[in-house]
């Protein structure tokens, strides 16, 4: 089995590549543009494997994708490549729409013409939008997107589904909840808060911090995607949740406790525009069809993640040395600090 993985130099894609090389006999071709979020250091443990190779390129580049499929003849595609951050999508929506919508279309169309046997499109619970408690989204729940990022993922999900309905292409869609773990770029909540805490810098919590997310350890997510690749039914959507919902402020407090830092590092700042209050989803379908379940308990995964960031300060310094500082200033520089009584 040969798998074309897109976005395999990013956070989740690289964990998936490490899983395929480490625990299966599959061959992997990794197509990645190496944007700010793509990092070859994430793939050091597999780069010398003769079952692995990387192609640097853009999923929006038709000629590159078409010739790559003709040359490599993969049996399956697992599509992770995306602009994946909500805050960046608010500041600059264009690359998000281009990669997530047009890039997904390019891959689907090239895969259809090449007759690819299986196509797993990796998506997110954010496409269901904000849910009132105690609601949980099943796969039938309507799409209700809020940010340019979630809208781009919802749009690409619909495109992926249309390739099954119209062309009977064997497409499967996975929708996972918020991931955390080693190698995550420090722009998302958990790695940003860990790396700021370790450096005794303020922890910027948006608004009151009572927004709820369901946390899934990255390796559990990857095992779920592998289960869908191997056992998923064509045309189906599969939710993958961590079964651990927490308000952001609790996650931040846990990080402070585990890093031994004081709570006065917390700084409530102006909320994200269009901020979804609560995500929640049911993964019953994938669990009953494949036996998959999230195995890593949140406190265990969080401890492991903090240890990884402590031990990999050089990795953090490297990924922050590029355009990160300009992004940080653009996203956080203009936010007011909220007084305790107003949050």
What token pair was written down for 135?
């609601």
Asked whether 234 and 164 are in contact (CB, 8 A), the reply is: yes
* Residue 271 known to be catalytic: no
What is the DSSP pairing of strand 212-217 with strand 245-247?
Answer: antiparallel
The Cβ of residue 94 has, within 10 Å, a number of other Cβ atoms equal to 10
Number of residues that bind ligand NAD (CB under 6 A): 30
Instruction: Pick the closer one to ligand TYD by CB: 205 or 286.
Output: 205
x-or-dash pattern for ligand NAD, window 202-241, by CB under 6 A? ----------------------------------------
Place of tokens 């992004």: 327
Catalytic residue among 87, 126, 214, 276: 126
By CB under 6 A, residue 145 contacts ligand NAD: no
The Cβ of residue 325 has, within 10 Å, a number of other Cβ atoms equal to 10
x-or-dash pattern for ligand NAD, window 164-203, by CB under 6 A? ------------x-xx-----x------------------
* Residue 187 known to be catalytic: no
By CB under 6 A, residue 37 contacts ligand NAD: yes
Distance of CA 327 to the CA centre of its chain: 19
DSSP per position, 210-278 = --EEEEEEHHHHHHHHHHHHHHPPTT-EEEE--S-EEEHHHHHHHHHHHHT--GGGEEEEPPPTT---B
Instruction: Pick the closer one to ligand NAD by CB: 196 or 239.
Output: 239
* Residue 163 known to be catalytic: no
- Please state, in angstroms and rounded to a whole number, the distance separating the CA atoms of residues 59 and 98: 10
The residues facing 172 across adjacent strands are 120
Q: Given the rule CB under 6 A, which of 28-36, 86-94, 227-235, 315-323 is the region that contacts ligand NAD?
A: 28-36
The residues facing 22 across adjacent strands are none
By CB under 6 A, residue 9 contacts ligand NAD: yes
By CB under 6 A, residue 188 contacts ligand TYD: yes
By CB under 6 A, residue 197 contacts ligand TYD: no
Q: How far is the CB of 340 from ligand NAD (least distance, A)?
A: 29
- Residues known to be catalytic: 125-126, 149
Which residues contact ligand TYD (rule: CB under 6 A)? Answer: 86, 126, 178, 188-189, 192, 204-206, 211, 213, 248, 272
């Amino acid at each position: 089995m040969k798998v074309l993985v897109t976005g395999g130099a990013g956070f989740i894609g690289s964990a998936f590549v490490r899983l395929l090389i480490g625990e299966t006999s599959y061959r992997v071709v990794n197509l990645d543009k190496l944007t700010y979020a793509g990092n070859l250091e994430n793939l050091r443990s597999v780069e010398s494997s003769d079952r692995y190779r990387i192609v640097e390129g853009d999923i929006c580049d038709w000629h590159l994708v078409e010739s790559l499929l003709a040359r490599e003849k993969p049996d399956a595609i697992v599509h992770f490549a995306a602009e994946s951050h909500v805050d960046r999508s608010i500041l600059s929506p264009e690359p998000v729409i281009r990669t997530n919508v047009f890039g997904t279309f390019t891959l689907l169309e090239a895969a259809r013409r090449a007759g690819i046997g299986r196509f797993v499109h990796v998506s997110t619970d954010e496409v269901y939008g904000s849910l009132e408690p105690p609601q949980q989204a099943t796969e039938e729940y309507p799409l209700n997107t809020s940010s340019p990022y979630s809208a781009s993922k919802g749009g690409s999900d619909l495109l992926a589904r249309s390739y099954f309905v119209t062309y009977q292409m064997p497409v499967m869609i996975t929708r996972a909840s918020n991931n955390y773990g080693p190698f995550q770029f420090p722009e998302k909540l958990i790695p940003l808060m860990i790396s700021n805490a370790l450096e005794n810098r303020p922890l910027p919590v948006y608004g009151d911090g009572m927004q709820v997310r369901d946390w899934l350890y990255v390796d559990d997510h990857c095992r779920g995607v592998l289960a869908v690749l191997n056992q998923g039914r064509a045309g189906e959507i599969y939710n993958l949740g961590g079964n651990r919902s927490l308000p952001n402020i609790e996650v931040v407090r846990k990080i402070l406790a585990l890093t031994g830092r004081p709570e006065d590092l917390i700084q409530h700042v102006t909320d994200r525009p269009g901020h979804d209050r609560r995500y929640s989803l049911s993964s019953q379908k994938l669990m009953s069809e494949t036996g998959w379940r999230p195995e890593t308990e949140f406190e265990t995964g969080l401890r492991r993640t903090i240890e990884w960031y402590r031990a990999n300060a050089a990795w953090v310094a490297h990924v922050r040395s590029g355009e990160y500082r300009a992004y940080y200033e653009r996203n956080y520089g203009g936010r007011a600090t909220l007084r305790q009584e107003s949050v």
